[in-house]
Structure 1
């Protein structure tokens, strides 16, 4: 009905217009009313100080002459400041190159529009990213002693003023003194202070262009990006200052790198706090979840370093231990956005716990996480006072090295903290970060901001950080979060500089991300691309082969643990997934084989979901009964462990994988104390609005609710993530799985066959029946130093036996479907039959 009326009115209008047009005049008048072409700018980028590339919304007509005066450029800080365009050249269909009368000043914000928009209503900001590449300096940054004096330097090329602020403590700011710093031509601000400053605290105040796209705030004190230790307030916004600390006085007692080769690595991915925070760890309450707690070896202590020794792994990869933004905005409340420009506000609708527990929001690339140091973690109190976290983390490294365990760090250089007073944002937002066309943060990482490692001083910061952790902390290697976000030149510098310090350094890429590098420096951010540069990578393909994918499904279509898989594909993983065998890696050890990481469901939960033991959003009423493995779940977890620990290449497992840990959202979390549950079982929080009224804010949509399984527990500092050792040692089937992992780890470490056998020497043995997935392989002892041949047999089929004919002679069984280890379980010869979901390791007598 409505459409008919519109058409009727339209027809009447046409008739009315036609009745007013003189005969023969309609065509001429329509031509005269044709709208004149105006060059509307949609993207503007400075090529140099006097040339700008602009992309137009519409392609200009071929006969249209674009003139310089068709463009208006002005300062957004002082709108009376303008720059004239003096020349225009066509570049591509919609692209023009404009020449400016005066150079662009980067300490300003410039906008461009067309001549018919004098009020700049349709303006576009000029991106002058390329102008910032000229800034570079080799001067030492942060706090250093030079010629007996304290020298403070910080990089902030667009700041107009920077002040150094020194105080006796960050809480009361007692005896605060300020020094105005001086700037050199490379954007380095410097202040020299005499006297003994050890134990004091400092930070910077920075002023800059006044505009809503700028993050400068001259009233705010931020810590140094090169801080070696930071003291921060345990509350949202996390105000902090740098601790002036001498890190060189630590007694390493002769400690050095472990010297672990990547192909020999059995990596245990662990979180400092989660590993001992649970009471079952046996660690004293006052140091649970701390660096000290991790290495505590007292009576009846099972967690921490004792568990690492118990399992037998030879490397620990810590989830991020850089200082990070551990607090997010209070749930449901409108508050200041500490990670944005001054005056911006935010409402947290996504994180009920208001925490960022795992540490993937880095605040400082040189300082160890203060939240894991011993002391008062009460919200509102300061952690890291005195910088004790420095020596406490060094104690962790030294203690692990004494056990011949390498230390790897999970490092996050692709983005920075999003919800605190991050100094890189406040000192150099438009230098350090990718920006969109409106000078806001551009985030392909999904983390709110993307760090631009290609900029010279950003790249230097990353490489300096790697070198610092190796030299000052004796760290043996690194895992790079969202590694495709880091440009190739920076990756290559990391490899070059790290290998100078330790030729055996282990470098691992998480080969995920927003593909930042693809268009800017050749792309190829693949497993192959990392490997040819000397960097290993998580092998998602073997993960998918073992479990069936990243995310769990109640109807799995693939996965060895579900009896699915192709024998030919399996062979590639046995051989280390090398390029010469149809894989992606150039060197053995670059492939990091894994079946579980901190991301997604645990392997145990993946199997629980895939077998229908758990249904989506099912409320778990009895945690202990749910976590306890059924016989089939035990067999499925064992077959995953068996295959993972018998293939060539580096191995990684996540904490708790050895007992099929479950991530059930903790309903009793201290971070949920303000939540209530309504009569329908819905969780909500009541908040008080500025007008005094209350508002009910419901649990975040898409997030796992209490007493259900979680696949993304980054924010949960509670029983969801804490390692419950009772579930590992007091539940019979789970304990059997722990012992199975221990046995397989011992076998792998004891025999070179699984790590050093040339792939061309490995011979495959097919099952006598057409069973899949089922495979055997012979690892000859004369090529790997063992002196004894080893056979691995696996039957992943869930219903059929698999029979294998063995080479001549007697073979000693050291692993079967029940037990694995270095003790003999008997001898076999001729043929052997494997039950469904089982494996066997044989050693030639």
Structure 2
């Protein structure tokens, strides 16, 4: 339903995006900053200095504030903190925009950055129905064959005449997961042709990355262009997930959080050394009330101001459990369908005690989902080495794959995983880190002919997309994207990471197979059950000694088949098996799929090697 301009403005004004920081609305500028142990605080706006006054205490930290009237939209500023005779100049950590390379903060009247017809997107996709697609804004749009001449990666992504969004629509994904969009330091906004990074080195947590903008010097343009990208995806029914990195920062000794909170922002080991559970030199002290509230406020800001529908948490075990519980509670108040998931591990030994880390099991009473690394490794083998997975016949991974196929729930007394319900499991075979699926199969199966390696790519995706839980696809997996064997390509540049859109044409059979599996999954509730009881009630398992795993799924809803058989043959030879009584419609076999059916079968049926067979009853 279209809202009138009056209704839209009322809806927007009813939500306060940020309470701290440099906030401008109409003609009133409010500066409210939490700062630890400062003697004086000043704000310099376009060269004019204005003192702040100490106005109280919050979380045992001083609150400094001031107000001005006038026209401040797009003016630059810097904060000066005087402490023990030293003058520290910094952007405030709550800043909403900056100029090029974040040298100065930029004041914005945020309503003036809204695109035309900017309205909230009501994502009605239940968590069990989600199909996730991970992409990097630059990787996805930089290829010459992408089809856009627009300047700025945000703009190229929004361009409906280019290949990106139409591809996602046709593929059938429900949520687009974008690698970090918030300001990071490793790419020079003025030299984007010669600098590259995925963005896991965060600097300002509420500012869109300048290198994705058509004009990073203009602080309003990057905000508007990111909103336009989100709007283009929403207009086409695709929800947006942000990859967020609140576990550490770049440049920790000069970082705004350290300038404002020199004693409490970062964790330290018992020895007094800085914590390094991130593997990046520091880790944020999420358990401190000031940092916890900063993170929650930042997430609420992205949710409300940019209409973001979900968040993926990098190294989620570096967050203390209470912070994650409060994050879910606060974000669901605004959007009950917000999708929250992350990595249930750290990047090293954390200064946060293990019992407080948000590890597997801590999600039990929540709807927060975890990446299922056991299922991933069971399907394809180790991340970067030569070890084969079950798709290539490694029988030692059979139990891990079977658990994952059932959503990693407690299915029975001998088959039990980490999840209370399947919606807590993010199922994947590759992500931005490590070898992509095609390269992993190339490395671990060098003795296979090329056609059989393609067969294993299809097999991996058919296991993934027919399993309970939330499927997650990394960019280009659906048409055999390769990173040329690079396993750690976060800074490897466009030549390694860019998505080649010619590959979609060259591997149309692979793409069509993946697309139609998604369509089948979305059409049948048997592939996407919401809770463990439904799986136990509607699913039967059959196994044999020849690395054959089958699931029988009962239909319950209007439009469901009465029965679905999914049989995975993890052997390097064909197997003939007897089907349950009755006539079955063959839907998929040997890497081919036809949603209208390939014919009727009954009795004995030959299951092709290294592939999935799907049969249904009306």
Instruction: Give me the TM-score of the superposition, normalised by structure 2.
Output: 0.89
Match for 2:176 among 304, 309, 316? 316
Are 2:470 and 1:650 aligned?
Answer: yes
User: Structure 1 residues 147, 596: CA separation in 2 closer, same or farther (over 3 Å shift)?
Assistant: closer
Offset of 1:756 from its aligned partner? 2.3
Correspondence list, 1:400-799, <5 A = 400-418=233-251, 422-436=255-269, 441-513=274-346, 514=348, 516=350, 519=353, 522-523=355-356, 525-553=358-386, 556=387, 558-581=389-412, 582-612=416-446, 630-664=450-484, 709-730=485-506, 734-756=507-529, 758-764=534-540, 766=542, 770-772=545-547, 774-782=548-556, 786-798=560-572
Answer whether contact 2:561 2:616 (CA < 8 A) is retained: no
Considering Cα pairs closer than 8 Å and 6+ residues apart, tell me whether 1 or 2 has the greater RCO.
2
Are 2:21 and 1:158 aligned?
Answer: no
- Cα distance in 2 between the residues matched to 1:830 and 1:518: 58
Match of 2:21 in 1: 142
- Cα distance in 2 between the residues matched to 1:311 and 1:565: 33
User: Structure 1 residues 589, 437: CA separation in 2 closer, same or farther (over 3 Å shift)?
Assistant: closer
Higher-Rg structure is 1
**Superposed CA offset, 1:374-417 (max 9, x none):** 23xxxxxxx25132121212222222122221111111110012
Answer whether contact 2:275 2:350 (CA < 8 A) is retained: no
User: Structure 1 residues 565, 364: CA separation in 2 closer, same or farther (over 3 Å shift)?
Assistant: same
- Cα distance in 2 between the residues matched to 1:419 and 1:464: 21
- Cα distance in 2 between the residues matched to 1:569 and 1:447: 31
- Cα distance in 1 between the residues matched to 2:343 and 2:31: 35
Secondary structure of 2:94's counterpart equals coil
Answer whether contact 1:322 1:365 (CA < 8 A) is retained: yes
- Cα distance in 1 between the residues matched to 2:596 and 2:559: 20
- Cα distance in 1 between the residues matched to 2:351 and 2:137: 32
Answer whether contact 1:257 1:474 (CA < 8 A) is retained: no
Match for 1:226 among 67, 89, 94? 94
Answer whether contact 2:76 2:104 (CA < 8 A) is retained: no
Secondary structure of 1:451's counterpart equals coil
Answer whether contact 2:459 2:591 (CA < 8 A) is retained: no
User: Structure 1 residues 363, 631: CA separation in 2 closer, same or farther (over 3 Å shift)?
Assistant: same
Judge which range, 224-233 or 783-792, deviates more.
783-792
Aligned positions, number: 586
Are 2:80 and 1:205 aligned?
Answer: yes
**Superposed CA offset, 1:328-370 (max 9, x none):** 9xxxxxxxxxxxxxxxxxxxxxxxx995611111112212212
Structure with the higher helix share, 1 or 2: 2
Secondary structure of 2:30's counterpart equals strand
Are 2:44 and 1:191 aligned?
Answer: no
User: Structure 1 residues 819, 716: CA separation in 2 closer, same or farther (over 3 Å shift)?
Assistant: same
- Cα distance in 2 between the residues matched to 1:544 and 1:265: 22
Offset of 1:660 from its aligned partner? 2.2
User: Structure 1 residues 565, 822: CA separation in 2 closer, same or farther (over 3 Å shift)?
Assistant: farther
Answer whether contact 2:314 2:343 (CA < 8 A) is retained: yes
User: Structure 1 residues 283, 791: CA separation in 2 closer, same or farther (over 3 Å shift)?
Assistant: same
Match of 1:293 in 2: 156
Answer whether contact 2:91 2:105 (CA < 8 A) is retained: yes
**Superposed CA offset, 1:139-197 (max 9, x none):** 92112358953111222212332220111xxxxxxxx2111222234222223222111
Secondary structure of 1:573's counterpart equals helix
- Cα distance in 1 between the residues matched to 2:403 and 2:76: 55
- Cα distance in 2 between the residues matched to 1:649 and 1:785: 21
- Cα distance in 2 between the residues matched to 1:422 and 1:356: 21
Secondary structure of 1:401's counterpart equals helix
Match of 1:266 in 2: 131
Secondary structure of 2:284's counterpart equals coil
Answer whether contact 2:379 2:401 (CA < 8 A) is retained: no
Offset of 1:441 from its aligned partner? 3.2
Answer whether contact 2:429 2:460 (CA < 8 A) is retained: yes
Offset of 1:808 from its aligned partner? 2.2
Correspondence list, 1:44-59, <5 A = none
Instruction: Give me the TM-score of the superposition, normalised by structure 1.
Output: 0.66
User: Structure 1 residues 825, 517: CA separation in 2 closer, same or farther (over 3 Å shift)?
Assistant: farther
Secondary structure of 2:155's counterpart equals helix
**Superposed CA offset, 1:695-729 (max 9, x none):** xxxxxxxxxxxxxx311111133121111111231
Offset of 1:823 from its aligned partner? 2.8
Match for 2:104 among 240, 259, 262? 240
Offset of 1:743 from its aligned partner? 1.4
- Cα distance in 1 between the residues matched to 2:196 and 2:292: 26
Match for 2:185 among 305, 315, 325? 325
Match of 2:166 in 1: 306
Answer whether contact 1:320 1:412 (CA < 8 A) is retained: yes
Offset of 1:785 from its aligned partner? 6.0
- Cα distance in 1 between the residues matched to 2:311 and 2:277: 23
Judge which range, 409-418 or 150-159, deviates more.
150-159
**Superposed CA offset, 1:615-638 (max 9, x none):** xxxxxxxxxxxxxx9101111101
Offset of 1:314 from its aligned partner? 1.1
User: Structure 1 residues 518, 827: CA separation in 2 closer, same or farther (over 3 Å shift)?
Assistant: farther
**Superposed CA offset, 1:737-756 (max 9, x none):** 11211111111111111002
**Superposed CA offset, 1:527-559 (max 9, x none):** 221232331100001001111122222xx2544
Offset of 1:504 from its aligned partner? 1.3
Answer whether contact 1:561 1:640 (CA < 8 A) is retained: no
Match of 2:201 in 1: 361
Judge which range, 603-612 or 398-407, deviates more.
398-407
Offset of 1:565 from its aligned partner? 4.5
